[in-house]
Amino acid sequence: MATNFDLAPPSKTVDGLPAAPIDIESITAQFIFDGATQTASADATITYTVGPTGGNPVFDLRQTISQAWLDAVNFPVAQLAHHQFGTGTFTDLRVIESSQTAGSVHTLRVQYNLALPNSEMTGSYPPVLAWSAGPRLQFAFGMSDLREARYLEGWLPANLIFDQFSIVLNIQIVGTIVAHSVITNGSVNTLGSNHWEIGFPARFTALSPMLEIRASNTVMSQTDSVTLPVSGKTVTIEATKLSSGSENLTNEINRIKTFLADNENNYGPYIHDNRFVVLFNSLAGMEYEGATTTATGVLRHETFHSWFARGLKPAAHADGWWDEAFTSFHDVGADDPVPFDFSDPPIVLCSRNPWQRETPDNAYTDGANFWKGMASMLGVSTLNNLVADLYQTHNSRPVSTQIIEEFLLRKSGEAQVVDGFHRFVYGLSDPSPAPDVWLKDDPAHTGSEEWDGVFWDSPDLWIRNSDDGGIDHQSPEFGQDNWFHARVRNKSAAGTARHFVVTFHSRGFAGTQFVYPADFLPCIAAKAEFDLVPGEVRVVKARWPRSLVPPAGTHTCLLASVITRADHPGAGRHVWEDNNLAQKNLTVVNLLPDTFMILPIVISNWLRELDQRFELEIWKPKQATDLQISIINRSQDFFRPGKAKITRLEPQLRKELFSLTQTKLDCGLHLPVATSGPNKGRIITSETPDLLVDRFPDSWEFRLPERKPSLLVEIPVFTQKVVGLKVAIAKDPKADQSFKLHFVQRHKKTRRIVGGVALQVNVGRRS
C-alpha cells in the first residue's frame, strides 16, 4: 500500500523531540489468553517507513510495554513514552527516541501484558477482556468513533487513521477446554483448537478491523449469500447473535441483502471482498470494514457505513464527521434539501486540530443538516451522484474534509460550496475586514481589480511535470501526473483569508478571452487552504491526474481562480477585470530556418458595445526581424474591414517543407472546431502536414507589415471566430534567438485590450 504522508499530521517538536510521522507497512502480533491464570500477553512487531522529514517516529499503543526491540536490538522502554501532542485528553502519542532518517525502514517489536486499554472507556459497547466460569473468554476490540483513543491502538501498536497497513494476528487460548469462536472481518485460518491466524488486508486502517472472541456455546450463527447487482459479486453474510438474544437471524439476513443491494445500486460496488459480518447485540452499533456490531434498529445505518466510513474512510478524527453526517442524511432518504441560512451561527464539524482523537457528537445532527444544505444548493440527485462518484474514485485511500470540498467544487462548478464549508463545516464566521486574495496578471500588476496590461501570461501560474517544488513553467507531459501551481496573495491590510480554495482548469484552445465562471468551473483540480494572512504570498499546488492530461500533440490554456468567503470572483468577469482570476495562455515552439507553424486562436466578442470592430495586433521585439507573421482565415470577408491585401494559402504536403523538429506546447495548437476521424484535436507539425489542408481548406493569408503589425476585423456580439497565427522563420536567420510575441485583441472604439495569447519562438540553426 502506498504511503499516505500527504494525509498525515505535520511533524512537530514535543518535549524537545522532533516527532515525525511514519507509515506502517505491516503489523504482526501474537495474543495468548491463559484461562488457567486468567491473564493475557501480547508480542507485536511493526515494520514502518519514516516520513519525508525524518526525526523521532510517532505511533501509539494504549498498553503498558514491558520490553522492546528496535531493529532487533533491545531498546529502553522509557524511550517509547507517551508525549502530549494535543490539548485534550488521550491526545498523547508515543515517540521513539531514536533519530531516524527520512524514508528509512525499521522494525519495532514490543511485548506487554494484555489488559483493558488506557483509553476513554465510556460508552455502551466498550472494549472487553473478561473471563467467566469455564473458564470462558470474552474479548472485543470495542472500537468507537465517539470515544478517544478507541481504535486499534487500544490493543496493538498502530498509527493514526491516515495510514493503511496489513495485520497478521496469531491468537491462542490456553488453559481451558471450552471451545471458542472468533467473529471477525479478517480472513481466518484455524491452526488448532482455540488457535487461529487472522489476516487483515493492506487497505485497512486503525479503524477497520473487527474482532470478538466468545465461548462458542454463548453465541448462535447463521450464513446466507446474496449476489449484488452492480459488482456481480456473491457476498456471504455471516450473522451471529448472543444465545440469549431475541433477533431472528433469517429475517435480519434478508434485510442485510436488501441494504447491500440498494447501496450498490445507489453508490457503487461493495469493496470488502466476498463477506459481510455482523454481530447483533442489544446495546448499540459500530461499523467496521464489511462488518458491524449492531442492534437491529440501526442495522441499515451500520450496513451503509461499509460504503461511507469503512469503504470511503476518513483521513483523521477531525474528518470523522462526514461519514456519520452523510449516513444520517441517508437514513432519512437522502432527499431532504434544506437551504443554508448564512445568518445562522457558525458550526464546527471539522476542527483544524490534527491531534483530535474523537468524532464530534454533532456530526449526526449538524452534519446531516450540512448535507441537506448541499442537497439544496446542488440538487438532491446531483449531490447523490457526486457522492457516489466520490466513493467510487476515492475509496482506495482515506479522504479528508478538504478533499471532499475540493471534489464537490470542481465537479459541480458551484462556488458557494466554499461558503458552505467555510461556515458550517470549519465553523468560521464571515471575515471582517474581508481579505483580498489575488493572482498577478503580469509582473507589473500590483493587485488592482482592473488591469490594462498583459494578462494572458500570468507569472503566478505554472505547471511542473513532477512534485519537485520548481517554479519554472513546464509543458504538460502526457502519460503521467503533472502539477498545477498558483502563487496566491492577500493584499488586504487586516483581513485574513481563514479558508480559501484555488481552482485550476485548462481549455483546449488558444483563446483571447475567458469568462468566469463558465470557462473556469467546473475544473480539473482544486485545493483548499487556510489562514492566508495580510501580505502573505503562498504557493498552492494541486495534482493534475494523468488521466486528464491531454495527449501529446494537443495543448491547454491554464486558468485559475481564488475563492474565499467574502471575496469571490465576479460572475461574467474576464481575467483583466478581476484580481481573483488569472490565465497562462502561452505557447512555446522551437523552429528551424525556413519553416513555419500555425497556431489556431479563438477570438470572440462578449462585450455589449455597439461597435463590433477589433484590432488584432502583434507585439514583437524590434530584433525579431527573422520572423514573418501572418493571419489566416477561411473567409475573404473576414479581412474586408481592414482592407487587407490577402493571398490564398497554398499548403504543400511534402514533409520536407515541414521541418519543424520539436514543438513544446505550454498552451496552443488545438483547434476548437469539429474535425472528424483520428486527427481530431491534433496539431500541425512536420509529422502531420496533411492537417494543414484539413484545418484551413480554401483559406486566405494576410502578411502583417513590419511597421504596424495589426489587422482591423469585425466580430458580432456573442460570437467567436477562429484565426490562424502563422509564424515563419527566414531561410538564413542571423543567429540562435528566442522571442516572445503577443497576439492581442483590442476593441477599436474604447481601445480596451480584451484578450491575448503569448507565443515564445525559439529559433535554432540546422546542424
pLDDT reported for residue 513: 78
The least confident of 201-215, 654-668, 753-767 is: 654-668
Residues 373 and 483 both lie in one domain: no
Q: Give the model's confidence band at 678: pLDDT under 50 very low, under 70 low, under 90 confident, else very high.
A: very low
Residues composing the chain: 767
Interior angle at CA 505, CA 313 and CA 758, nearest 5: 155
User: pLDDT over 90 for what percent of the chain?
Assistant: 75
Q: Give the model's confidence band at 347: pLDDT under 50 very low, under 70 low, under 90 confident, else very high.
A: very high
Specify whether the CB–CB gap between 397 and 4 falls below 8 A. Answer: yes
Query: Among positive and negative, which fits the CA dihedral 460, 464, 467, 468?
Result: negative
DSSP-based three-state secondary structure for 721: strand
pLDDT reported for residue 24: 98
Instruction: Tell me the C-alpha distance between 145 and 320, whole Å.
Output: 7
> For 559-616, how does the pLDDT look when each residue is reduced to its tens digit (9 = 90+)?
999 999 999 999 999 999 999 999 998 777 777 887 788 888 889 887 777 789 999 9
Q: Is residue 200 part of a domain?
A: no
Q: Give the model's confidence band at 553: pLDDT under 50 very low, under 70 low, under 90 confident, else very high.
A: low
Q: Give the model's confidence band at 706: pLDDT under 50 very low, under 70 low, under 90 confident, else very high.
A: confident
Four-point Cα dihedral 397, 402, 403, 407, nearest 10: 160
Q: Is residue 75 part of a domain?
A: yes
Q: Is residue 288 part of a domain?
A: no
User: Is 60 exceeded by the pLDDT of residue 672?
Assistant: no
Q: Give the model's confidence band at 624: pLDDT under 50 very low, under 70 low, under 90 confident, else very high.
A: confident
Residues 565 and 706 both lie in one domain: no
The least confident of 15-24, 425-434, 754-763 is: 754-763
Residues 145 and 9 both lie in one domain: yes
pTM over 0.95: no
Residues 411 and 452 both lie in one domain: no
Residues 624 and 754 both lie in one domain: yes
Instruction: Tell me the C-alpha distance between 231 and 247, whole Å.
Output: 29
Pairing of strands 586-591, 753-763: parallel
> For 126-139, how does the pLDDT look when each residue is reduced to its tens digit (9 = 90+)?
999 999 999 999 99
What's the gap between Cα 348 and its chain centre? 22
Instruction: Tell me the C-alpha distance between 532 and 498, whole Å.
Output: 6
Closest CA to 213 of 153, 157, 172, 156: 172
User: Is 60 exceeded by the pLDDT of residue 673?
Assistant: no
The least confident of 181-195, 388-402, 702-716 is: 702-716
Interior angle at CA 543, CA 550 and CA 19, nearest 5: 160
> For 406-422, how does the pLDDT look when each residue is reduced to its tens digit (9 = 90+)?
999 999 999 999 999 99
pLDDT reported for residue 691: 65
Residues 404 and 452 both lie in one domain: no
Closest CA to 323 of 315, 271, 9, 165: 315
Specify whether the CB–CB gap between 145 and 285 falls below 8 A. Answer: no
User: Is 50 exceeded by the pLDDT of residue 491?
Assistant: yes
CA dist list (Å): 701 to 18, 138, 141: 66, 87, 77
Q: Give the model's confidence band at 689: pLDDT under 50 very low, under 70 low, under 90 confident, else very high.
A: low
pLDDT reported for residue 661: 35
Specify whether the CB–CB gap between 83 and 17 falls below 8 A. Answer: yes
Instruction: Tell me the C-alpha distance between 708 and 722, whole Å.
Output: 22
Q: CB 72: neighbour CB atoms within 10 A?
A: 10
Instruction: Tell me the C-alpha distance between 40 and 105, whole Å.
Output: 30
Residues 579 and 620 both lie in one domain: no
Among the candidates 515, 550, 584, a domain finishes at: 584
Closest CA to 576 of 681, 454, 479: 454
DSSP-based three-state secondary structure for 202: coil
Cell of 639: 479581412
Q: CB 623: neighbour CB atoms within 10 A?
A: 10
> For 109-122, how does the pLDDT look when each residue is reduced to its tens digit (9 = 90+)?
999 999 999 999 98
pLDDT reported for residue 660: 38
Label each residue of 446-458 as H, E or C.
CCCCCCCCCCCEC
Pairing of strands 596-605, 510-511: parallel
Among the candidates 424, 447, 464, a domain finishes at: 424
Q: What is the mean pLDDT of residues 333-349?
A: 91
User: Is 80 exceeded by the pLDDT of residue 1?
Assistant: no
pLDDT reported for residue 591: 78
Q: Is residue 371 part of a domain?
A: yes
Closest CA to 454 of 442, 462, 439: 442
User: Is 80 exceeded by the pLDDT of residue 397?
Assistant: yes
pLDDT reported for residue 496: 96
Single-letter code of the amino acid located at 688 = T
> For 223-247, how does the pLDDT look when each residue is reduced to its tens digit (9 = 90+)?
999 999 999 999 999 999 999 999 9
Closest CA to 624 of 557, 704, 700: 704
Q: What is the CATH number for 555?
A: 2.60.40.10
Residues 669 and 611 both lie in one domain: yes
pLDDT reported for residue 224: 98
- Residues spanned by the domain of 690: 587-763
Cell of 83: 508525549
Cell of 705: 507589415
Four-point Cα dihedral 60, 61, 66, 71, nearest 10: -50
User: pLDDT over 70 for what percent of the chain?
Assistant: 92
CA dist list (Å): 625 to 629, 712, 730: 10, 23, 9
Closest CA to 374 of 347, 414, 346: 414
Residues 19 and 147 both lie in one domain: yes
Instruction: Tell me the C-alpha distance between 622 and 194, whole Å.
Output: 88
pLDDT reported for residue 329: 94
State the distance between the two ends of the chain, measured CA to CA, in whole angstroms. Answer: 49
- Residue 329's φ and ψ, nearest 5 degrees, are -60, -40
User: Is 90 exceeded by the pLDDT of residue 287?
Assistant: yes
pLDDT reported for residue 188: 98
Strand partners, 62: none
Closest CA to 53 of 13, 111, 1, 113: 13
User: Is 60 exceeded by the pLDDT of residue 511?
Assistant: yes
Q: What is the CATH number for 51?
A: 2.60.40
Q: Is residue 265 part of a domain?
A: no
Mean pLDDT of the chain: 90
Q: What is the mean pLDDT of residues 337-359?
A: 95
Closest CA to 171 of 190, 142, 196, 135: 196
Residues 644 and 754 both lie in one domain: yes
Q: Is residue 57 part of a domain?
A: yes
Specify whether the CB–CB gap between 614 and 641 falls below 8 A. Answer: no
Residues 530 and 615 both lie in one domain: no
Instruction: Tell me the C-alpha distance between 753 and 762, whole Å.
Output: 26
User: Is 60 exceeded by the pLDDT of residue 671?
Assistant: no
pLDDT reported for residue 651: 54
Closest CA to 322 of 248, 403, 242, 429: 403
pLDDT reported for residue 589: 76
Residue 673, judged by CB atoms within 10 A of its CB (0-12, 13-18, 19+), counts as exposed
Within 250-290, strands assigned E span: 275-280, 286-288
pLDDT reported for residue 205: 98
pLDDT reported for residue 663: 37
Number of separate domains in the chain: 4
Specify whether the CB–CB gap between 253 and 272 falls below 8 A. Answer: no
> For 237-278, how does the pLDDT look when each residue is reduced to its tens digit (9 = 90+)?
999 999 999 999 999 999 999 999 999 999 999 999 999 999
Among the candidates 377, 394, 424, a domain finishes at: 424
DSSP-based three-state secondary structure for 410: helix
> For 574-584, how does the pLDDT look when each residue is reduced to its tens digit (9 = 90+)?
999 999 999 99
Nearest-Å Rg of the Cα atoms of the chain is 32
Q: Is residue 546 part of a domain?
A: yes
pLDDT reported for residue 760: 84
Four-point Cα dihedral 378, 384, 389, 394, nearest 10: 100
The side-by-side arrangement of strands in the sheet containing 581-584 is: 525-532, 497-507, 557-564, 581-584
Strand partners, 652: none
User: Is 50 exceeded by the pLDDT of residue 212?
Assistant: yes
User: Is 70 exceeded by the pLDDT of residue 147?
Assistant: yes
Specify whether the CB–CB gap between 195 and 238 falls below 8 A. Answer: no
Cell of 193: 483448537
- Residue 142's φ and ψ, nearest 5 degrees, are 60, 50
Q: Is residue 17 part of a domain?
A: yes
Residues 466 and 351 both lie in one domain: no
Q: What is the mean pLDDT of residues 476-499?
A: 94
